[in-house]
Structure 1
Amino acid sequence: MSLRLLRASTALTLVLIALPATGQPLDTEGDIALEPISVAASKRKVATDTAAPVTTIDETEIKDRQAGTIAELIDSVPGVALVNGSTPTGSGISIRGYGATSTYGTDQKVQVIVDEAITGSEEIYRIGTQLFTDPALYSSVDVLRGTIGSFEYGSGIVGGVVRAETKNASDFTGGVPGFRLRETLEYSSNGDGFATSTILAWQPTDRAEFLANYTLRRQDAQVDGAGETIGNSQFETPSWLLKGRVYLDAAKEHSLTLSYTDTSTAERDVPYDSFDTSDAIFGNVDRDIDSRTATLVYNFAPASNPLIDFDAILSYADQEIDQSYVPGSSSMAPPGGFPTVNADHRYETTRLAFKNTARFATGAVDHELRTGLEFIRKERESADSAPGGTDRRVAVYAIDEMRLGNWTVTPALRFETQEIEDGTGFGGPDTYDNDALMGGVSARYEFANGVGLFANAAYTESLPILDDLYGTARGMSDPVPQPELMSQSEKSHTFELGGSYDAASVFGAGDDLALKATAYATTLWDVTSYTVPGASGSYVDTVETHGLELEASYSMASGFYSDLNLALARGEENYPDGLGDADWRALPGDSARLTLGKRFGDVLDMSWEVVAFNDIEVEDDETPGFSVHNLRATYTPQKGILAGTEMRFGIENAFDRDYQPRRSTRPAPGRNFKVSLARTF
């Protein structure tokens, strides 16, 4: 850990603790008089009541962070690392060393779900994650790390799950019939960024609610800490959200919820290689991207029957990428550009799911049994370097959370069967069939003093994917069928041990302390996602990773609060006989994130966040460590003409540090001043 982190943390702690010690409230005239101090919680709740390593970013934190992308929003979660992140194109999400790479936006081991719709990205060459959606659309984002807890969301999840829930009209109407209009304006200095978000919420009765949101986010090219322009960092993304919920009966036991999101971007004369790693060999393109999701949910939850909390879900995700070569933009490309650069892509995922939560008791054991049946159909058009076809899957799962006294034991099972149909017409086998049984168990014991201990074990399989129908190294103009990959699933197991502590009035009256530490070890084998560097066609034998994640929060009745995240990770990739082994290529480096802040009633919230990474060397590739300081303040007047207005101010990378995280392919942005104004009418 850097000395700068320790010095800054100590100094700020002394300043913030000294404020309430004076016994004099901050006081100014008029509208900005501060309310009396009240008991305050930390910015982020630590999930001490579960064995699963899960973190929730709620709507308040989403607003305070003023993130421009979903990736930027969740990089504060321990174990999460970004490939770039400040732009929707050329970025990706990695959890525990799995997920995005600098060549593809995903390795299929991190699942992204938006309102029950499976979305995220495909393995499209050098374009990155196609998670084109705006943080302003969401009320919360859950990040689940590892395999434990993932079996109701999919198979082959080694890194984790990102679940985003869109906003509801009742979030603004408070459940009272009427109209509400919310307008948010944001500005950021680095890249002259601008965003506007308009929300119309209408609740005609207490049984119906409807919401419409339009968000436009725009950013010019940013500069790094050295003042140099960051390549391919400009973007413009308009986003839509339409959502409605209707209760079908007076008792509100039957409901229908429909949501639709649409985010697009139009890029002109930009590098095809959105990661900016290939020295402009591919040239530039005009690229249009549109990402749409739609979800219809029927829920039946009779108050008189705890055995039934039933959902029928129909979801659809459609991602479309159209691109064409800009003539003359590459001295190495043929006159019309490489076929890969001119390729258009479209992939559609339809999911029909039925799930139920039953609550009951057998003797002294209380059960919460979650069961589900899923039908998933993914269709993708063929394109150069990306074979097309249809991937049909059927899955069933059962997860039983059992409570007996201080014990909570949760076994989980998932069975999934698959049929992949080759849609390329290049002469390989027509279909491939696979199936897998996977599952895990977690056990947690909670002592009376607030201490909890837990252990988790999980096994999952990643069934073959459409990308592996043909070898892509030679391009789709010269396809090479890969039937050996289409009949082999990747397999992994993960073991976790950890503990938690949650108690009030620990050091003084009215304070609250929460801690959670998770140690994990994961092994991946029968690998088909990673090849041996310099040995084309040879796949890695195994990947072994292990690490420690810590989350902590502390708050005082005076309004002082502190949050701490820590992530340590190690790993290696083992090669076939004679080829040796190496450090795991996706290691992000050890990191710590400390937030110190103070709330003054409901009026003012001020915080200082320090992010620090240690030096890391992976196979002679050394990345220097760094520490970055971010300042945030939220001012919400309670009186006068500004009452109800939310004003947020932020400074990211306050000391204009020039740095580049190891997983990123371009420098991080330099100092960035952010301001936002919001009001609900």
Structure 2
Amino acid sequence: MSSSGILRGGTALALVLAAAPALAQSEDSFTLDPLVIEGSKREVATGTAAPVTVIDETEIRDRQAGTIAELIDSVPGVALVNGSTPTGSGISIRGYGATSTYGTDQKVQVIVDEAITGSEEIYRLGTQLFTDPALYRSVEVLRGTVGSFEYGSGIVGGVVKAETKNASDFTGGVPGFRLRETLEYSSNGDGFATSTILAWQPTDRAEFLANYTLRKQDAQVDGSGTTIGNSQFETPSWLLKGRVYLDEAKEHSLTLSYTDTSTAERDVPYDSFDTSGGMFGNVDRDIDSRTATLVYNFAPQTNPLIDFDVILSYADQQIDQSYIPGSSDAPFAPPGGFPTVNADHRYETTRLAFKNTARFGTGMVDHELRTGLEFIRKERESAESAPGGTDRRVALYAIDEMRFGNWTVTPALRYETQEIEDGTGFGGPDTYDNDALMGGISARYAFANGVSLFASAAYTESLPILDDLYGTDRGMSGPVAQRELMSTSEKSHTFELGGAYDAAVVFGTEDELAFKATAYATTLWDVTSYTVPDVTGVHVDEVETHGLELEASYSMESGFYSDLNLAVARGEESYPGGLGDADWRALPGDSARLTLGKRFGDTLDMSWEVVAFDDIEVDDDETPGFSVHNLRATYTPQEGVLAGTEMRFGLENAFDRDYQPRRSTRRAPGRNFKVSLAKTF
């Protein structure tokens, strides 16, 4: 079957699920656990208006992903620029995020244990989300703006929120010591990973965890057997985490987490998106990404008005690189290499946040009021390809989730003020001050039979960033252009409309079904992130995107389950001064993902997954559609000498398809057999 046929088949299945009767609701907000559909591979958050997807630890293990990007590309609306390597890849949500030039456009927020991290706009280096999936117990992906106001400003694409493992995940909350060892191997590129976890719970009021993971991979080959240049990597990672309850009632707690992932690349292309040295030649590059978070929580059992957190987080990313002379791909490079190639980078983000959740009632209305005060300081060293300086911000937010009858209405406000100190010596003012008030509202109505409908509207502003200190605006240059750029915030609004459906006993006596569809429309204006193609210094006037996202899950008592997601997106960018308009450059193509599986008790789980992208043409640039098949099996013996051992087998791109997704700059990996062994002692 062609990829277009598979996509149409996935759409048809979605319509069948949508027409089914029945339903119930569960999740109430992005911060709560979503409804669990027993037996399904992927949970569907039907009880909230926010378009959120949670990838839990079981799915993290089953997918055997080598990067965080590879892990979340299964979420509808998420597309990757490459993805199988930590460098030279990026994450896009609803067409915002990574570009082919930078790893980010600042419209997707990445949070690791409350620390703001992810990437900077460093030329041709991709995202700097250097971390390993083995460190995490869950990853949440929130799409769009409406649920983002407690996580930051200017979030148009969405939020990726990762939570590291806890010792109690392995001790079960019982005092004692646990050791978990995981070994993985992948055939394409002779990939290897080892992850060792030590979990210790001395009492029921304290827990400590240490995790060391080493992951490495040689150069991979695509579906035609051609070597994919610049696809090798080696990344050691550390996680240290502890939590202590300070009183017998467990009302006061302290949690400290630290992650560290590094990579040492030798004689690799500076242009990490490319497969060869190109005009810039090759470099030696060392990258170290560290995050640390300290959280104090006070949650008195007798006072629902207080669930108070004090959060101090620190993210530090350092990139050191030096030119390797003599590359035949770079005949025009000066003897010592271009200044951009020799540039070192370091950026540090410190955040102090005070948060509280108060639960109370006023008449017929129940409230869950989340409020917060944040102080954020980002420091970055100046480099040839990235301006330096200090970005200080103070933010206040309030989100009130109100329930009355069958209604849930959630207004949200965020106010943020900023002072940017110029560290470049470019010639403009020493500091720039900006502020913005933004917010949104969502409403959800749950019918008695379980059907729910929801709608939302949200407005956000992206305040100027340190990268804009080198910018020019609408054909101007010098301090005048810099002053205009540094006083202009990008603005956007997003409207969403959708429905959800979940139920038990739908087609049989013991089955469960969940379904959720969200249509959205986003407009971005006062654009400073994108310039008109082939026109120096002129920015895009406006970007409009709209689309449909669908998630569905169905399971039966027999152990059969199926999961489906679908994403359709369209978009246009318009230019000033009569330059016309064009298709939005970041469109990934319509996609569908269908998983069919069967569980045999707690012993065996087998599944087949098909991923399909339709043909797409963006301004005469046509990308063929494709379909890829993945097979997975998890075998966990319940008796005998192997009892408790987890054996996972995966076959990705089973038919060795040769293809390249539209957003990617490299061919995709060909057939890849994966196996992993894990056991907790």
Do Structure 1 and Structure 2 share a fold, with TM-score over 0.5?
A: yes
The match for 1:450 is 450
Alignment of 1:164-203 (within 5 A): 164-203=162-201
Asked whether the 8 Å contact 1:316–1:349 carries over to 2, the reply is yes
Q: Take 1:571 and 1:149, find their aligned partners in 2: how far apart are those partners?
A: 22
Deviation at 1:470, TM superposition (A): 1.5
Deviation at 1:448, TM superposition (A): 1.2
Q: Which segment drifts farther, 101-110 or 417-426?
A: 417-426
The match for 2:535 is 535
Deviation sequence 1:287-309 (CA, Å, 0-9, x none): 00000000000000000000000
Q: Take 1:179 and 1:332, find their aligned partners in 2: how far apart are those partners?
A: 59
Q: Take 2:581 and 2:10, find their aligned partners in 1: how far apart are those partners?
A: 39
The match for 1:499 is 499
Asked whether the 8 Å contact 2:256–2:295 carries over to 1, the reply is yes
Alignment of 1:50-69 (within 5 A): 50-69=48-67
Indicate yes or no: 2:377 matched with 1:369: no
The match for 2:6 is 5
Q: Take 1:553 and 1:95, find their aligned partners in 2: how far apart are those partners?
A: 22
In the superposition, relative to structure 1, how do residues 278 and 237 fare at CA in structure 2: closer, same or farther (>3 Å)? closer
Asked whether the 8 Å contact 2:472–2:485 carries over to 1, the reply is no
SS of corresponding position for 2:124: coil
SS of corresponding position for 1:468: helix
In the superposition, relative to structure 1, how do residues 573 and 224 fare at CA in structure 2: closer, same or farther (>3 Å)? same
Letter in 1 for 2:637: P
Q: Take 2:661 and 2:625, find their aligned partners in 1: how far apart are those partners?
A: 8
Q: Which segment drifts farther, 436-445 or 424-433?
A: 424-433
Deviation at 1:280, TM superposition (A): 0.8
Letter in 1 for 2:127: T
Asked whether the 8 Å contact 1:40–1:561 carries over to 2, the reply is no
Asked whether the 8 Å contact 2:4–2:625 carries over to 1, the reply is no
Deviation at 1:219, TM superposition (A): 0.2
Alignment of 1:475-554 (within 5 A): 482-554=482-554
Deviation at 1:384, TM superposition (A): 0.1
Alignment of 1:323-338 (within 5 A): 323-329=321-327, 330-338=330-338
The match for 1:263 is 261
The match for 1:415 is 415
Asked whether the 8 Å contact 2:428–2:479 carries over to 1, the reply is no
Letter in 2 for 1:495: F
Alignment of 1:379-390 (within 5 A): 379-390=379-390
The match for 1:36 is none
Asked whether the 8 Å contact 1:372–1:396 carries over to 2, the reply is yes
In the superposition, relative to structure 1, how do residues 293 and 449 fare at CA in structure 2: closer, same or farther (>3 Å)? same
Letter in 2 for 1:414: R
Q: Take 1:180 and 1:248, find their aligned partners in 2: how far apart are those partners?
A: 23
Letter in 1 for 2:355: K
SS of corresponding position for 2:340: coil
Deviation at 1:577, TM superposition (A): 2.4
Letter in 2 for 1:255: S
Deviation at 1:578, TM superposition (A): 1.4
Q: Take 1:558 and 1:5, find their aligned partners in 2: how far apart are those partners?
A: 26
Asked whether the 8 Å contact 1:470–1:481 carries over to 2, the reply is no
Letter in 1 for 2:106: Q
The match for 1:298 is 296
Structure 2 residue runs of 5 or longer lacking an equivalent are 14-36
Letter in 2 for 1:586: A
Letter in 2 for 1:661: P
SS of corresponding position for 1:5: helix
Asked whether the 8 Å contact 2:228–2:275 carries over to 1, the reply is no
Deviation sequence 1:231-273 (CA, Å, 0-9, x none): 1100000000000000000000000000000000000000000
Letter in 1 for 2:6: L
Asked whether the 8 Å contact 1:40–1:558 carries over to 2, the reply is no
Asked whether the 8 Å contact 2:44–2:515 carries over to 1, the reply is yes
Asked whether the 8 Å contact 1:200–1:213 carries over to 2, the reply is yes
Asked whether the 8 Å contact 1:630–1:654 carries over to 2, the reply is yes
Q: Take 2:40 and 2:80, find their aligned partners in 1: how far apart are those partners?
A: 25
Deviation at 1:123, TM superposition (A): 0.2
Deviation at 1:40, TM superposition (A): 4.5
Q: Take 2:242 and 2:576, find their aligned partners in 1: how far apart are those partners?
A: 54
Asked whether the 8 Å contact 1:470–1:479 carries over to 2, the reply is no
Structure 1 consecutive aligned stretches of length 4 or more whose deviation exceeds 4 Å = 6-10, 478-481
Indicate yes or no: 2:563 matched with 1:569: no
Q: Take 1:653 and 1:419, find their aligned partners in 2: how far apart are those partners?
A: 49
In the superposition, relative to structure 1, how do residues 229 and 294 fare at CA in structure 2: closer, same or farther (>3 Å)? same
Aligned alpha-carbon RMSD (Å): 1.7
The match for 2:603 is 603
Deviation at 1:4, TM superposition (A): 6.4
Q: Take 1:455 and 1:77, find their aligned partners in 2: how far apart are those partners?
A: 21
Deviation sequence 1:125-176 (CA, Å, 0-9, x none): 0000000000000000000000010000000000000000000000000011
Asked whether the 8 Å contact 1:470–1:480 carries over to 2, the reply is no
Asked whether the 8 Å contact 2:274–2:666 carries over to 1, the reply is yes
Deviation sequence 1:45-90 (CA, Å, 0-9, x none): 1000000000000000000000000000000000000000000000
SS of corresponding position for 2:351: strand
Structure 1 residue runs of 5 or longer lacking an equivalent are 13-38
Deviation at 1:328, TM superposition (A): 1.3
Asked whether the 8 Å contact 2:532–2:575 carries over to 1, the reply is yes
The match for 2:557 is 557
Asked whether the 8 Å contact 1:644–1:679 carries over to 2, the reply is yes
Identity %: 89
Asked whether the 8 Å contact 1:635–1:648 carries over to 2, the reply is yes
Deviation at 1:3, TM superposition (A): 6.3
